[in-house]
Amino acid sequence: MLMHGREALVVRVTGLVQGVGFRPFVHRLAGRHGLAGWVRNTAGSVEIDVEGSPGELRAFLAELHAEAPPLARIEAVESRSHAVSGRSGFAIRASVSEPGATLPVSPDVATCPACLAEMTDPDNRRYRYPFITCTDCGPRFTVIEAMPYDRQRTSMRAFSQCPACLAEYGTPGNRRHHSETNSCPACGPRIWCTDGRGTPLTQGTDETLEAAASLLRLGGILAIRGLGGFHLACDATDETSVSWLRKRKHRDAKPLAVMVATTAAARQLVALTEPGAELLESAQRPIVVADRVASSPLAPSVAPGLGQVGVMLAYTPLHHLLLATVGRPLVMTSGNRSEEPIATSNSEALERLGGIADGFLFHDREIVARYDDSVIRPTPGGAVFLRRARGYAPLPLELPVPAPVPILAVGPHLKNTFAIADGARAWVSQHIGDLENLETLEHFRDAQARYGALFQVVPRAVVRDLHPGYLSTQEAERSALTMLPPVQHHHAHIAAVLAEHGRRGPAIGVAFDGTGYGTDGTIWGGEFLRADLEGFERLGHLRPAPLPGGDLAVRSPWRTALGYLSLESRRAPLFARAFQAVPVTQFRIAQQQLERLLNAPMASSIGRLFDAAAAVLGVRIVSEFEGQAAMELESLAAERVAGELEFPIVDTADGWILDPLPLLASLGVGVRNRQPVADLAADFHASVARTTALAARRACRETGLSTVVLAGGVFQNARLLGSVARRLRGFGFEVLVPRQLSPNDGAVSYGQVAVAAARLSRSPHS
């Protein structure tokens, strides 16, 4: 091994080390320590071969960890010594692919400050260049077709580097040394504008930006090709434009996201806490949901009825250039028709957004993977994901019990994600959408095929939800993989939170959401479970009520209120407000459904309880989207100090239930006494939080457990989540809440795969 006091090492680095400037970093480091050898990407790791003096090698290894590029996440460094060969010089070698090896792929990274500075410097050759990138920033997962990460396996393959770019690429120490997305105005992608039918109107960057900006300033709707798909944009301060966009997109009420150039500009729209500003400025650039300030110039239609609005910072050079040219905040919403996946190719956008957009801002760098913007809500108890996509997915999560064979989890029906597990790693896909139309189903299939190829995992078994009729269930059946026992929806919710915290349980799980299929065939959603990764027992739940009209009830809080009323009709006078504006025929049909129990499934859903409360308060009797009523109630409650209303826990023949009838009736009394609705909304939150905490304490006492897991879409409500968690900690319990994934159904696939892995490890032959 020793030769003239020299040693040689082979070093293997695993983790998030590709697409983050790791090889150029190793090159610099080797130079600093006078080491000879090479570095290369393999499909499973970064491999380094170095030789030099033992002291320098030791320092090299230490700094490999300590000074790794900011975007890298090193999982492990293994080194072993080998024969010294007396080489000189250090090289970045061509990548090698290895079958069966897997490695995290870097998500996309927002334009870095160094690139921004160059882009605004008139003397720089990339002045106003809309595709400026370097090893620290730019597209990654949205352009990568296969691993290892190399230009020829990305959609940048279509653009050959010019001599000036090649020189940077080949120069050690340069910020673009081995930058796979490197390009410039002479050799890179281009932008142009077209009218609403796709007829080109401009060429050249400046002319295109001017045309795009003037269309926006005049109140037009512009479809913009971005990183993970198209956005539909308009002037966020122009009420007419924003309402036009809603009308054309058939999006009646869901809040729209707004993009600005700087944090200072964001502060003119929303009140940002310190963690909120940090999230906003992070390299992931999510949409950050924050309180609207009173002086905000935003059009009311951006987030109707809500005190909060989602804001993000420009994250591509094109965004920066466009915002600087327009000079006002822009609505930037997913480029899709209502409920369809976001459009990615130019032709797809023309076809699907043609009736919505007045013009298109195109570019010619193909989007390989479809990605929506991520949405995060900072709360006093920590940040809560509302949607996990661009910037975050597909970074893998650990599994507390490794999967003995590769497993595919097909996820839930709504807000679908899927997950693929191999050993202790689980890749949770980006937000796919509601599996209710063919386009979303195709997105689901494409993304799955891509994940399999990228991570070189071939699932051998598949796990699904308990519901027999879901499209995801049919997909599981169609896959021809070994079918594993299905996982109940709320068990998956609890398992997901246990698993992300590295736990196996048992714990008390409080699963609050809209709807999930229960083991008894009814709809669940207000569940107190004793759960571990392998199974669960239902200890208590919200008192079930019939939902007249079934799925229709999700959009009709008044129907849910009527369902509750059917349990105790003597309370009718207190529910009067819920039915005030309901058409008589619809009301009669719903009543008949309840009388005959036809199309009126029983549900123990807290999501529906929020709907019923909103109806009784007269806040909302018809919803445009699931969860709207709950969001409005939370907005109304704001920071008000609340009293508590009666919401008892009642013993029944089969377990205990939380009876919301007295609670709804108290709201009705408040309405009759002309109490401010906002105060009643605050009282409602406080009462639900108090009873939830008491019920969880009861569950802990019954089982001797002291850890409580909170999960389910209802806990996107920061007021409720914070209040329940505080009370439970006050009782002395440990509380686990969703951190890396959303409380909502986006986490279900990870829960399914965590359960399946745990069950399989126990009985490998089942």
Interacting residues toward Zn ion by CB under 5 A: 112, 115, 134, 136-137, 162, 165, 184, 186-187
Distance CA 242, CA 280 (A): 23
What are the backbone dihedrals phi and psi of residue 451, each rounded to the nearest 5 degrees, phi first? -60, -45
**Residue placing its CB nearer to Zn ion in the complex, 112 or 531:** 112
**Residue placing its CB nearer to Zn ion in the complex, 69 or 275:** 69
Distance CA 300, CA 243 (A): 9
**Residue placing its CB nearer to Zn ion in the complex, 143 or 257:** 143
Helix (H) or strand (E) holding 120, with range, is none
The strand pair at 707-711 and 507-517 is best described as parallel
Beta strands in 293-396 (DSSP E): 308-313, 330-334, 359-363, 375-379, 382-387
Q: Which residue type sits at 399?
A: L
**Residue placing its CB nearer to Zn ion in the complex, 91 or 116:** 116
**Residue placing its CB nearer to Zn ion in the complex, 68 or 350:** 68
**Residue placing its CB nearer to Zn ion in the complex, 22 or 564:** 22
CB of 71 to Zn ion, least distance (A): 11
Whether omega before 394 lies within 30 degrees of 0, making that bond cis, reads yes
CB of 190 to Zn ion, least distance (A): 12
CB of 453 to Zn ion, least distance (A): 28
CB of 447 to Zn ion, least distance (A): 27
Distance CA 87, CA 36 (A): 6
**Residue placing its CB nearer to Zn ion in the complex, 152 or 519:** 152
**Residue placing its CB nearer to Zn ion in the complex, 153 or 320:** 320
- The CA R_g of the chain, rounded to the nearest whole Å, is 28
Distance CA 103, CA 15 (A): 7
CB of 86 to Zn ion, least distance (A): 38
CB of 393 to Zn ion, least distance (A): 22
Q: How far is the CA of 746 from the CAs of 189, 341, 397, 416, 545, in angstroms?
A: 34, 15, 14, 6, 26
CB 19 within 8 Å of CB 180: yes
**Residue placing its CB nearer to Zn ion in the complex, 187 or 383:** 187
Distance CA 512, CA 658 (A): 13
CB of 313 to Zn ion, least distance (A): 15
Residues near 175 by Cβ (< 8 Å), separated by ≥ 6? 114, 134, 135, 136, 168
- Strand ranges of the sheet holding 46-52, from the earlier edge strand across to the other edge: 73-82, 7-16, 46-52, 36-41, 90-92
Q: Name the one residue in this structure whose structure tokens are 């609670």.
A: 663
Q: Token pair of 119, please?
A: 């882009």
Residues near 257 by Cβ (< 8 Å), separated by ≥ 6? 287, 310, 311, 312, 331, 332, 333, 373, 375
CB of 176 to Zn ion, least distance (A): 9
CB 426 within 8 Å of CB 400: no
CB of 282 to Zn ion, least distance (A): 15
- 649 bridge partner residues: 658
**Residue placing its CB nearer to Zn ion in the complex, 129 or 360:** 129
Residue 449: strand, helix, or coil: helix
**Residue placing its CB nearer to Zn ion in the complex, 22 or 524:** 22
CB of 284 to Zn ion, least distance (A): 15
Report the C-alpha dihedral over residues 349, 353, 357, 358, rounded to 10 degrees: 70
CB of 427 to Zn ion, least distance (A): 26
